[in-house]
Structure 1
Amino acid sequence: MTAIDTTEEVDTTSEDVTTAENVADTEKSPSALRRRLSATRRALSSDRLRGRTLPVVAAVLMVAALTAAVTAYFTVYRDDRAIGTDDGREVVSAANDGTVAILSYSPASLDSDFAKAKSHLTGQFLSYYEEFTAKVVKPAAIDNGITTKATVVRSAVSKLEPDNAEVLAFVNQTTTSKTKPDPEQTSSSVRVSLQRVDGTWLISSFDPV
């Protein structure tokens, strides 16, 4: 039994060696060489493709970055350049004129005074002003003979953007009435918010500070 087992093992080893030799011979055949050559060509083509693709991708990214930079220049930088000293003067002038119009009126000219003030206003503040003057200011001014005149003694821009701005204004206001005919002067400060509407700066809010 032992001899038989040994013989079988030797035969199996011989078969394995023969199989390996056959494989080696097969790999040396013309068809096998052609397959290897074809695979090599495909690998080289893939390398060339990658070599060409990388510069193309880099070029595309460079163009995209340049486009973004140009867009940023004309949308952001140009907007900043547009906010110059002329805009600052326009904003301050609009805030001052509007402040004087809002705080100045007389019983003899209430309607025209209110109309003048409304020409400086916009948005919800315009709606509020119309309601407040009609229901509160006009009756009080007529009944008590109230006349008030405002002047802006000093003002400065605290915020300036292409279409929005804020101005801090210091105001003196002189008031007379039936019960107090002698002029009475008060001082106050207000934060005036403005919006550019069709090229004109209009007051959108008016808050004491």
Structure 2
Amino acid sequence: MTKATVRGRAGTGAGTSARQRSVAAAARAASKRAEKARESALDEEAAATESAVVESAVVDEASGSGAEAGAEAREQAKGAVRGEAGAEKSAKPARRISGAVTAVLAALVVAGLVAAAMLGWEYREDRRTQEARTEALAVARKAAPEILSYDYRHLDRDFAKARAHLTGSFAGKYRKTTTRVVAPTAEKYHGAVTATVAKPPAGGASAASVVSASPEKVVVLLFMNQVTNSTQVSGPRLDLNRVRMTLVDTSGGWKVSALDAL
């Protein structure tokens, strides 16, 4: 029994020692594999580092070339901008001068047109005024004797002829005066008045002249001779009168708008 036990223990010890050796061998193998793996990893890391260094160098070189090219392009762009700015600065004074000259020329043209228009207007107004003076004076010389003359034998005809030369409110005043005052007196005393524009003793144009004139209105001064016959006087009576007559231009020609004895 004792021997069996010893062998059994011996056998057990031998088995245990074999297993320990197997475990040690496996550990060594694993250690070698791990060492190889570390060496392989180191080799790969070195290769990667070398590749990165090469790539970095390439990139740096490329970047340097690009930077130089970019710097050169930027310098060229700056030069172009400076040239354009200089051209723009030199062009601005020229544009300002050109604009000023254009403005001055435009002002001169406008002033010339205005002056020409004013001269043309003044010329037309002066011509119209001269025409008004001539026309109104002729009407006044004709109208004054007819307005200031009448005969009791044909008062209506004489007054109608006179009213043909009148206009505005003056025509109404004339009608009222002749109807209420002149006609009754002339009929009662058989009155008759003959008026003429005076003439110089040596002859020539009648004594009438223009006091003021415009294209629409003319004032005329006339020297009138009035011969009156009536039952109130023993013979013809001569009255020398001055009359101021105002005439206005109407659609029917020059008409008398006022008549004042001076």
Give the equivalent residue in structure 1 for 2:95.
49
Q: Does 1:75 align with 2:121?
A: yes
Q: Does 1:168 align with 2:221?
A: yes
Q: Structure 2 CA distance, aligned partners of 1:109 and 1:54?
A: 79
5 Å-filtered alignment, 1:1-209, equals 43-84=89-130, 88-153=133-198, 154-180=207-233, 182-198=235-251, 200-209=253-262
Deviations 1:8-63 (A, max 9, x none): xxxxxxxxxxxxxxxxxxxxx97999998777666545423321211111121122
How many residue pairs end up in the alignment?
180
Q: In structure 2, give the amino acid aligned to 1:156.
A: S
Q: Structure 2 CA distance, aligned partners of 1:148 and 1:83?
A: 34
Does the CA-based 8 Å contact 2:217-2:246 persist in structure 1?
Answer: yes
Deviations 1:86-121 (A, max 9, x none): 654432221121111111011221111111111111
Q: Structure 2 CA distance, aligned partners of 1:38 and 1:190?
A: 85
Show structure 2 runs of 5+ residues with no match.
1-73, 199-206
Instruction: Tell me which of the two structures has the higher relative contact order, counting C-alpha pairs closer than 8 angstroms and 6 or more residues apart.
Output: 1
Q: Which moved more, 1:145-154 or 1:48-57?
A: 48-57
Which one has a bigger Cα radius of gyration?
2
Does the CA-based 8 Å contact 2:245-2:256 persist in structure 1?
Answer: yes
Q: Which has the higher strand share?
A: 1
Q: Structure 2 CA distance, aligned partners of 1:97 and 1:128?
A: 20
Q: Which has the higher helix share?
A: 2
TM-score, L = length of structure 1: 0.73
Deviations 1:115-169 (A, max 9, x none): 1111111222222212222222222222332211101102122223222212111
Does the CA-based 8 Å contact 2:132-2:214 persist in structure 1?
Answer: no
CA RMSD of aligned residues (A): 2.7
Show structure 1 runs of 5+ residues with no match.
1-28
Q: In structure 1, give the amino acid aligned to 2:249.
A: R
| Percent of aligned pairs sharing the same letter | 30
Q: Structure 1 CA distance, aligned partners of 2:259 and 2:157?
A: 20
Q: In structure 2, give the amino acid aligned to 1:108.
A: R
Q: Structure 2 CA distance, aligned partners of 1:60 and 1:139?
A: 73
TM-score, L = length of structure 2: 0.59
